[in-house]
Structure 1
């Protein structure tokens, strides 16, 4: 978490001096007409600065995919404005999308009949890249993703994880200002996933490449992203640094361990008053978790245990992470607006 805090502080200090490379203003997308119409994006707005890594998150049906595909020009929005590097994407689509590359999960992002090296050369050429610098970038990407030994093999002959690596390498081969990545670590082994995270941070920190990331892996998002934009029901419900969001929803959460069993009567009191969860018994120790509200304190829990004859052996404070924040934010949004679209 310390690295995320350091990135968040640095990002906040430099936001006022950075160039806005992506602007989404009032994006709307409705499918169908009349009573059967479904609004997938409902006034989505956010900006992304050069060199930022921004996570776009949301539960299934939140409008995340529609928003990203609208930004990329794969879906025509019903209303709103999208700018890429100062260019209106609807008025100057070719010029605007020349600054963008993307890897979409679940889609064929490369040509499987071509070799790995041919794919990298092809996608670099699509972006107008050529010459010695492009060849050096291609070889560096092959080495970085462990693809050098299979560079002349058709992509169709590779494993799923290897195909994912090729897709990532081809996305980066164009050298664009903005890179969209949907589930980039899917299918990667631990080592390859760590290498990818390091490379994405390097691209952002050293080359000022802007990364827009969508993933269900909150650990990846928390480690990589400077900011997160959370969607629910087609709307932006949170847009802030990871550090500030976690701090905002920081709660008094504790895991308490007792020396000896906890009677059923005591469990019932703790469950009813403090919504105790995660009960475990190991040997002669029993443990559980409580999350306290503003009008409750740890001493109230300890009083219940003492009055019922249970002795406390250990207490650990439980710090929230981005997954806790995500669940809290989306639960609140669904609770206030009804069922998720």
Structure 2
């Protein structure tokens, strides 16, 4: 596959003004983005994800390493490199609030060198696709947050760049608008096949849209893998075990020390254990805990798992998630 973005060994350190203390936000991060794929760039708050995004967009200069977009160095040939990427950043929508919906679309497309004739049909298509019909002559500052976000993404698409970066595209939106926007993005991914980078804490968005994820934590890349591979990997390890009687205090303590990421739900007469078995022989350790007090095991079932659970397990440091 052809690389469209190459991030190599980038680092970024900040210095606190008052204490002069150095804080490393990004520490030797490397990853690639391939043409036509949808990449999820993920990480918990404070992981270094925002700094990485700003460096890719040319808003922040890295201390070390390099970033290339279509072979052009973002630091050395910033303007040329950034012609190939458009972005919608959280809290910094690419809109003029005193212009109408249509005026914003025409203005920003014109800024990218597109003629009115060239962009008219695409503007009409996007107005319909993003549910903005009937709103095209309204001022942006009078639109709902959801409408503003949809317009911001439509404007980014109008730039016709090879890469689109969407930072928290569904943040702060109600359930209905978030679902609607997710469906729109799924259609765009299917029909347009442009390279898209999505940074989001909305894991259904990641699971439904992304081909691959790069997960950053504590300034470093901890996972770079296809979404389906991660789901399959963790699903084969996730078990739900129904017990005929609760564990004793000693058993519960041993369970949580042996499997610190497991969940134990105690009822008056029964109990439920949800656990990920990282190694094939972990099942013997689990059975030994039950066997110690002759606890009745009523059923052992494979547990279903979604990408939010995968993300949390990876970030919490579950071992051996790397693919062969």
Q: Please indicate the TM-score interval, normalised by the length of the shorter structure.
A: 0.7 to 0.9
CA contact (8 A) 1:66 1:75 kept: yes
Matched, 1:130 2:115: yes
Stretches of structure 1 that go unaligned for 5 or more consecutive residues are 1-14, 335-341
Partner deviation per Cα, 1:228-268 (whole Å, 9 max, x = no partner) = 11112222222121122334445533223356x53656756
Partner deviation per Cα, 1:80-137 (whole Å, 9 max, x = no partner) = 2221112222232222111111001122431111111111111111111223341111
How far off is 1:156 after superposition? 0.7
Which 10-residue stretch deviates more, 144-153 or 262-271?
262-271
CA contact (8 A) 1:21 1:48 kept: yes
Stretches of structure 2 that go unaligned for 5 or more consecutive residues are 320-324
Matched, 1:20 2:3: yes
- Kindly indicate which of the two structures has a greater share of residues assigned to helix: 1
How far off is 1:225 after superposition? 0.8
Question: d(CA) in 2 for partners of 1:111 and 1:35?
Answer: 37
Q: Does the C-alpha gap of structure 1 residues 186 and 150 become closer, same or farther in structure 2, counting only changes over 3 Å?
A: same
CA contact (8 A) 2:247 2:295 kept: no
| Equivalent in 53, 67, 72 of residue 82 of structure 1 | 67
Which 10-residue stretch deviates more, 83-92 or 186-195?
186-195
| Equivalent in 31, 37, 47 of residue 52 of structure 1 | 37
Q: Does the C-alpha gap of structure 1 residues 263 and 193 become closer, same or farther in structure 2, counting only changes over 3 Å?
A: closer
Question: d(CA) in 1 for partners of 2:294 and 2:77?
Answer: 72
| Equivalent in 252, 263, 276 of residue 291 of structure 1 | 276
Partner SS, residue 134 of structure 2: helix
How far off is 1:190 after superposition? 4.4
RMSD: 3.0
CA contact (8 A) 2:101 2:136 kept: yes
CA contact (8 A) 2:189 2:209 kept: no
CA contact (8 A) 1:256 1:287 kept: yes
Q: What are the within-5 Å matches in structure 2 for residues 280-319 of structure 1?
A: 281=267, 286-294=271-279, 295-297=281-283, 301=287, 304=290, 308=294, 310=296, 312=298, 314-319=299-304
Q: What are the within-5 Å matches in structure 2 for residues 160-239 of structure 1?
A: 160-239=145-224
How far off is 1:271 after superposition? 5.2
| Equivalent in 308, 311, 317 of residue 326 of structure 1 | 311
Partner deviation per Cα, 1:21-64 (whole Å, 9 max, x = no partner) = 11112212222299712221222211111111001111111111
Question: If the length of structure 1 is used for normalisation, what is the TM-score?
Answer: 0.80
Question: d(CA) in 2 for partners of 1:263 and 1:77?
Answer: 53
Partner deviation per Cα, 1:119-173 (whole Å, 9 max, x = no partner) = 1111111111223341111111111121111111111111222221121211112
| Equivalent in 13, 16, 23 of residue 30 of structure 1 | 13
Question: d(CA) in 1 for partners of 2:197 and 2:121?
Answer: 25
- Tell me what 1:279 maps to: 265
Question: d(CA) in 2 for partners of 1:67 and 1:152?
Answer: 36
Which 10-residue stretch deviates more, 79-88 or 198-207?
198-207
Question: d(CA) in 2 for partners of 1:31 and 1:162?
Answer: 36
Question: d(CA) in 2 for partners of 1:280 and 1:309?
Answer: 13
Partner SS, residue 111 of structure 1: coil
How far off is 1:199 after superposition? 4.0
- Tell me what 1:262 maps to: 246
Partner SS, residue 304 of structure 1: helix
